[in-house]
């Protein structure tokens, strides 16, 4: 079978490959033309689905609610409509006690409607946590071209499980934002290797910020989603106490590391400088022997 | 208002509140019988991984206590700290953890009230003030998603155009009135009146499910969000 890149796919293409064939029904699809009420003010083009596709379907027979952000429309940025679609879906997940899968591909808040986008992210987080309190799994998939930045990265941080590929980037401030605010000495955004070592999929998997590491392949993302949907997910006092302990330990172990390579060396990776070059099998063998797991403390 | 004035106006019956490294922790008393736990971020501090984890740890300790004392979060912050080290160590995870801790405290019976009295921005705003069950503000508050010069750089729109639009378009412009219009802030307190009474009045009203989308629609700052979310929920439930 020919491998199909998850990174290169559109949001619609990702859902088509993720879900069982023919199982998808879309809610508020492009035919409803629910577009941003704010972009016209800036003479910017709008999109009929406001850059996110939501609906219901199944993954190996497991019914889910699902969402995919379109990184090619305004960098997947979250505006009023985009955000409200996902918030409504998460409210429904809570009511139906149905698991959710989100394919992230976003630079964060859409600045042309910044206040509405910022608040939408806060509403999504609250709705997501309410659903999780009912035992709903919320699985995030990270491997899109826009990465998962800004408020999007905080939503991802609330998911019960995260699947990531090498191309997946997860961070609050993006490389350009850090460079713009703090200077090129702090972060050279053109240094792609530095970007991957700091916020890329391999690093995130090694420190326990993501749970499953996959190839940049639509079939691999589907298999990982199936795996993540089998694991029970709860969110209560003990999980949060576990997460607190896990994050405190991370800061103690790696708090003085200057670079990803130093973190990997402290983890016990024998030749950490070579880690970015490892193929997936070699990487799994190395990483799984020494990585920090989240162990459901998420 | 300065932090010291705010604390004495909030807690006429006294308080034991410490400030260290930009973080605030302690307890105050609205009256001799009512204890309030206080946490906060002050002095325009930019929270990074260390601050987020420290605050969350304190909040989770309050949440684990069997009493139902409210938790007040005081906020005068910058945006999240922008650095290579913070992102390397997983700032997104630690800020999400902080938001989860506040949500959990509220759910565990310690009603969370955010009091925004200074700045806050971007991811720090989402993980602190906006993660409280109720958010109130003083007129001195200056919340923003991003300052206009940075916004101009990222959107590649001229700063003069952004300033012109900001005057007429609350949906993207920084500032308290604009955030209030979207429904982010439930009420703006009057600094000339004792804050203790305003806090007691807020706590006397029952908490409700997230009211912010409805507030945004009523105030005209966010006309579509509530209706879209409700329509998606309806369609999902109808599909079964």
Asked whether the beta carbons of B100 and B68 are under 8 A apart, the reply is no
3-state helix, strand, coil in chain B (%, to 5): 45, 20, 30
C-alpha distance from residue A254 to each of A36, A202, A204, A216 (Å): 43, 16, 13, 28
Question: Residues of A with CB below 8 A from B75's CB?
Answer: none
Higher-confidence residue of A19 and B32: namely A19
Q: Is the pLDDT of residue A157 over 70?
A: yes
Mean pLDDT computed over B218-230: 96
- Per-residue model confidence (pLDDT) at position B116: 98
Q: Which two tokens stand for residue A113?
A: 């409607």
- Measuring CA to CA, which residue among A16, A153, A146 is closest to residue A72? A146
Do residue A237 and residue B125 have CB atoms under 8 angstroms apart?
no
How close does chain B come to A284, measured CA to CA in Å? 20
Any idea where the domains of chain A sit in the sequence? 11-236
**Residue B220 buriedness (CB in 10 A; 0-12 / 13-18 / 19+):** exposed
Strands B134-137 and B187-188: parallel
In this predicted structure, which of B42-51, B159-168, B176-185, B200-209 has the lowest mean pLDDT?
A: B159-168
Question: Residues of A with CB below 8 A from B122's CB?
Answer: 109, 118, 150-151, 172
Measured distance CA(A60)–CA(A96) in Å, rounded:
19
- Looking at chain B, the whole-number percentage of residues with pLDDT higher than 90 is 85
Q: What is the pLDDT of residues A242-264, one digit of tens each?
A: 999 999 999 999 999 999 999 99
Q: Is the pLDDT of residue B52 over 70?
A: yes
Q: What is the pLDDT of residues B151-184, one digit of tens each?
A: 887 888 899 988 888 888 888 889 999 999 999 9
Do residue A247 and residue B91 have CB atoms under 8 angstroms apart?
no
A window 85-114, beta carbon within 8 A of B: 85, 87-89, 91-93, 95-96, 109, 111-114
CB atoms within 10 A of CB A249: 12
Mean pLDDT computed over B199-226: 95
Any idea where the domains of chain B sit in the sequence? 3-207, 208-240
Mean pLDDT computed over A91-112: 97
**Residue B2 buriedness (CB in 10 A; 0-12 / 13-18 / 19+):** exposed
- Looking at chain A, the whole-number percentage of residues with pLDDT higher than 70 is 100
Do residue B222 and residue A116 have CB atoms under 8 angstroms apart?
yes
Q: What is the pLDDT of residues A166-176, one digit of tens each?
A: 999 999 999 98
- Per-residue model confidence (pLDDT) at position B183: 97
Residue A160 host element (H or E)? none
Q: Is the pLDDT of residue A296 over 90?
A: no
Grade residue B48 by pLDDT with cuts at 50, 70 and 90.
very high
- Per-residue model confidence (pLDDT) at position B147: 79
Q: Is the pLDDT of residue A51 over 70?
A: yes
- Per-residue model confidence (pLDDT) at position B166: 85
CB atoms within 10 A of CB A158: 24
Measured distance CA(B81)–CA(B115) in Å, rounded:
21
Q: Is the pLDDT of residue A2 over 80?
A: no
Residue B186 host element (H or E)? none
- Per-residue model confidence (pLDDT) at position A42: 87
Q: What is the pLDDT of residues A169-216, one digit of tens each?
A: 999 999 988 998 899 999 999 999 999 999 999 999 999 999 999 999
Q: Is A172 in the B-facing interface, judged by CB distances under 8 Å?
A: yes
- Per-residue model confidence (pLDDT) at position A79: 97
- Measuring CA to CA, which residue among B43, B96, B32, B95 is closest to residue B74? B43
Interface predicted TM-score (ipTM) over 0.85? yes
Chains A–B, number of C-beta pairs less than 8 Å apart: 271
Mean pLDDT computed over B19-32: 95
Measured distance CA(A149)–CA(A163) in Å, rounded:
15
Q: What is the mean pLDDT of chain A?
A: 96
Q: Which two tokens stand for residue A126?
A: 């609250």
- Per-residue model confidence (pLDDT) at position B157: 86
- Per-residue model confidence (pLDDT) at position A1: 64
Asked whether the beta carbons of A221 and A7 are under 8 A apart, the reply is no
Measured distance CA(B99)–CA(A125) in Å, rounded:
8
Question: Residues of B with CB below 8 A from A154's CB?
Answer: 92, 95-96, 99, 123, 126-127
Domain A11-236, CATH: 3.90.226.10
Do residue B226 and residue A199 have CB atoms under 8 angstroms apart?
no
* CB-nearest partner of A115 from B88, B107, B172: B172
Mean pLDDT computed over A270-289: 97
- Per-residue model confidence (pLDDT) at position A50: 95
Higher-confidence residue of A181 and B121: namely B121
* CB-nearest partner of A177 from B82, B183, B239: B82
State which residue of chain A sits closest to B108, comparing Cα positions: A237
Strands A52-59 and A25-27: antiparallel
- Per-residue model confidence (pLDDT) at position A18: 98
Report the CATH architecture of B3-207: Alpha-Beta Complex (3.90)
């Amino acid at each position: 079978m020919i491998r199909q890149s998850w990174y290169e796919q559109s949001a619609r293409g990702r859902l088509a490959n993720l879900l069982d064939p023919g199982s998808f029904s879309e809610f508020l699809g492009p035919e409803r033309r629910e577009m941003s009420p704010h972009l016209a003010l800036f003479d910017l083009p709008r999109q009929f689905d406001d850059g996110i596709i939501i609906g219901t379907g199944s993954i190996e027979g497991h019914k889910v609610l699902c969402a995919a952000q379109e990184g090619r429309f305004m960098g997947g940025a979250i505006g009023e409509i985009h955000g409200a679609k996902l918030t409504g879906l998460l409210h429904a997940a809570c009511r139906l006690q149905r698991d959710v899968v989100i394919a992230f591909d976003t630079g964060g808040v859409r600045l042309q409607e910044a206040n509405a986008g910022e608040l939408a992210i806060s509403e999504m987080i609250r709705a997501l946590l309410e659903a999780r309190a009912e035992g709903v799994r919320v699985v995030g998939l990270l491997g899109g071209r826009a990465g998962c930045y800004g408020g999007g990265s905080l939503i991802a941080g609330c998911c019960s499980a995260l699947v990531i590929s090498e191309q997946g980037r997860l961070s609050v401030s993006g490389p350009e934002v850090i460079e713009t605010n703090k200077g090129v000495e702090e972060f050279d955004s053109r240094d792609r290797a530095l970007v991957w070592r700091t916020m890329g999929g391999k690093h995130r998997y090694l420190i326990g910020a993501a749970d499953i590491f996959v190839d940049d392949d639509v079939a691999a993302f589907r298999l990982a989603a199936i795996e993540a949907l089998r694991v029970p997910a709860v969110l209560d006092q003990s999980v949060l106490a576990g997460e607190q302990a896990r994050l405190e330990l991370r800061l103690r172990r790696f708090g003085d590391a200057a670079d990803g390579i130093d973190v990997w060396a402290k983890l016990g990776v024998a030749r950490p400088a070579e880690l970015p070059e490892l193929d997936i099998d070699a990487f799994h063998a190395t990483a799984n022997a020494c990585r920090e797991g989240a162990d459901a403390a998420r | 208002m300065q932090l010291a004035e705010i604390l004495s106006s909030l807690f006429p019956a006294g308080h034991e509140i410490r400030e260290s490294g930009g973080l605030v922790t302690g307890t105050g008393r609205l009256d001799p019988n009512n204890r309030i736990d206080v946490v906060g971020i002050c002095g325009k501090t930019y929270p990074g991984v260390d601050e987020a984890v420290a605050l969350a740890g304190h909040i989770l300790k309050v949440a684990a206590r069997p009493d139902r004392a409210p938790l007040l979060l005081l906020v005068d912050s910058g945006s999240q700290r922008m650095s290579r080290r913070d992102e390397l160590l997983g700032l997104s995870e630690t800020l999400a953890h902080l938001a989860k801790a506040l949500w959990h405290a509220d759910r565990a019976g310690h009603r969370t009230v955010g009091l925004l009295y200074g700045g806050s921005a971007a991811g720090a705003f989402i993980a602190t003030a906006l993660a409280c069950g109720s958010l109130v503000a003083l007129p001195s508050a200056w919340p923003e998603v991003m300052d206009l010069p940075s916004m101009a750089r990222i959107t590649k729109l001229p700063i003069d155009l952004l300033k012109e639009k900001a005057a007429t378009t609350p949906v993207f412009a920084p500032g308290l009135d604009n955030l209030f219009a979207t429904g982010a802030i439930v009420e703006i307190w009057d600094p000339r009146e004792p804050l203790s009474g305003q806090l007691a009045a807020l706590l006397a009203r029952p908490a409700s499910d997230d009211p912010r989308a409805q507030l945004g629609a009523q105030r005209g700052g966010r006309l579509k969000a509530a209706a879209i979310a409700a329509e998606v929920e309806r369609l999902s439930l109808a599909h079964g």
